[in-house]
Structure 1
Amino acid sequence: MNDNLLHFYQWYAHFLQSLDIPQKYVSLISISTMILLFVIFLWGFTKICSILLRKLRDKIRKTQKYQFLELLLSGKFINTLVLFVPLTLFERIAALIWTQQSVYNVIANMVAIVKTLLIVILIQIFLKTLVRYLKTKPSFQDKPMDSFSQITFIFVVFCAIASTYINITNQSLGTFFTALGAVSAVLLLLFKDTILGVVSSIQVSTNNMVKIGDWITFNRYGADGTVTEINLTTVKIQNFDNTITTVPTYSLVSDAFQNWRGMTESGARRIKRSFKVRFSSVRLLSDEELEKFMKVDLLKNFIAQRIEEIHEYNQSHQYNREILVNGRNLTNLGLFRQYIENYIHQHEMIRQDLTCMVRHLESDQFGIPIEVYCFTSDNRWVNYEKIQADIFDHIYAVSSYFELTLYEY
């Protein structure tokens, strides 16, 4: 190619001389003509490639088979790739125009730098397209593909810088690392967040700490919502009020946060809520009062069994049953707790294979805390709140039947 350009350049110079054009203008006109032809070629080549690219993309789109290739052609990948042809041609023309070796070396180095930059841009476009394509696949939608892409791109940029340094200075790779070590303190200071992000991204993905789509609560940053993006330096969280909180990626490793993925994957969500009963409303129940509670379907079997056990115990110890304090007795609070426990055990929206109980908490000046602890079979927020509200509505409503007073300030 160089020989053909040289022959054309020499022929054109002789042609200008044959037209009796002064020698001092021959070089100027020759160079200007070569530049003009180069611009025309670049314009025409770009147009032809654009037309061919459009036809190829339309053909691929009709087949609907090569989605990744379609995405790649829809971007700037081909437009960037075709720039290698005019760059190579420009380098050949420069060798004819600037015959001085020192000048040509400068131009050649500049062309090499531009080519390296184009390679980096091509890889970046390819990685972005690959991430877009993988995000359409269900198996990759929850993976931090942006972090992997950015880590790969950083490695590519590092290789490009090393290659450019070696080509321009004609030094070895060892010399490059020596120079890099000399400025390492400055680089660490400038790229501290990036370096921390690289390490954290690897840890987060390796340990499967957070995935896109996870619901996390990050109290330090006031974040409570769904993870929408994980990249090298930041994690985007869409809160439930539709605001966006951005937190550093390395904070997922260095700080404590709550990931609700386990709850989501289990299909169950915990109810852990308590109410308080006044001390003065708790009392022992007489046999006559127990007859009333025997009519409650959820308690009749329990009461019958307990009455038999208590009667045998009291008879064996010969307690005076005219006074309720003597021996063993049932209390209205005890029956109330058993009623609630039986109620949630027969509730169709409560998971019976998980922990399900009603318990006392430590008493305080406000009364006796009774806690309901169980798991709903529907973990969707709205449905969960409805189930929980229905259960406690019922509890508050029946408390008066047991002649218990719930605390309110």
Structure 2
Amino acid sequence: MSDEQAAAGGEDTTPAATVIALDASAPESFDSAERAVASLVAAREKVGIPAESADDATAEDELSDEDNAAPPEEATGEDKEADPAEKPPLELPRSWTKDRAEIWAKLDPATQEILLEQDRKASIDVRNRQNELAEERKAVQAERAAAEKARQQYESQLPALMRELESVNQQAFSDIKSMNDVVKLQAEDPFRFQAWQVHQMRLQATKAETDRVTKENEAAQQSKWVEHVQAENAKAVEFIPELADKDKAERLTLRVARELLPDLGFKDSELAALANGKEKLSIYDHRIQRLFADSLKLRDIQNAPKAVVKPDLPPVQRPGVARAPGSDKAALVQSLTDKLSSSGSERDALELLIAKRASRRAS
């Protein structure tokens, strides 16, 4: 049914909707609602519809859609900022110590975020620098190891080269033993003389280099030995406090050198070589084993229980002249005799008899 027929029949009096065509340059889809509304308004203006009506119609169309029923802010929640009170507190920066937590809590969130970002960048920079230094250190160590290996290889070849040159000298120039032989060689065979001279120069240069390397190695070994002695002496002080005192340490060292070591069988030459690190001493050396045995005996003595010794003292003497044995009983008999003579009682006679018998048993 057409629109005119519907209106004549009285069924629908609503005016027919106007079809609006978008501009040919309009895209097939819009990336935002604002651009879609602007394009629709422009198209309505071309057909003579006011912009207000376009806005109202657009608003009605948007509100009729289920997806846009709610306001954009309420639908997505992305543009609406959360309440600052609901945000969890930011953690303390890694470079800050815990005693600064109170100061950190007083800062506003914006300042905290700035400080956290700076701390994060500083930590990354420090890690990068540490990694760079570690790589440089590895490179330096690798170069040193390569140089040390090359040096050792060079030094190890010097003795072999010296032996080879000496062997060639014995084989090719064994007839040249004195200066007269050299003069004769120069006069009779200049070319062989020149070869001999070059060979002697090589011998001298190789020997000088060998001597230089030997001296350097000896100096390095001596330096290491001094460091070893100092470190061991420092450890010895922990167990032997007397060594911390210079005078006591000197006296103790002299006693060891004069009394103990010679008694064990060490010679002066051996002691000097041991003191300089040139002498090697095995732990199985019989003198070292004697030291171990003596040390164990001393430890047993120190750990033995202490025996209680009773003093052997003479009996206690009372003041005055010492009485002879039995003098007390004799005095008692004499006293009872005098008493009986004066009293004449039977009781005193009985006591006198008992005292006499006791005196005879004691004698």
**TM-score bracket for this pair, using the shorter chain length:** under 0.3
Normalised by the length of structure 1, the TM-score is: 0.16
Please identify which structure carries the higher strand content: 1
Normalised by the length of structure 2, the TM-score is: 0.18
Higher relative contact order (CA 8 A, sep 6+): 1
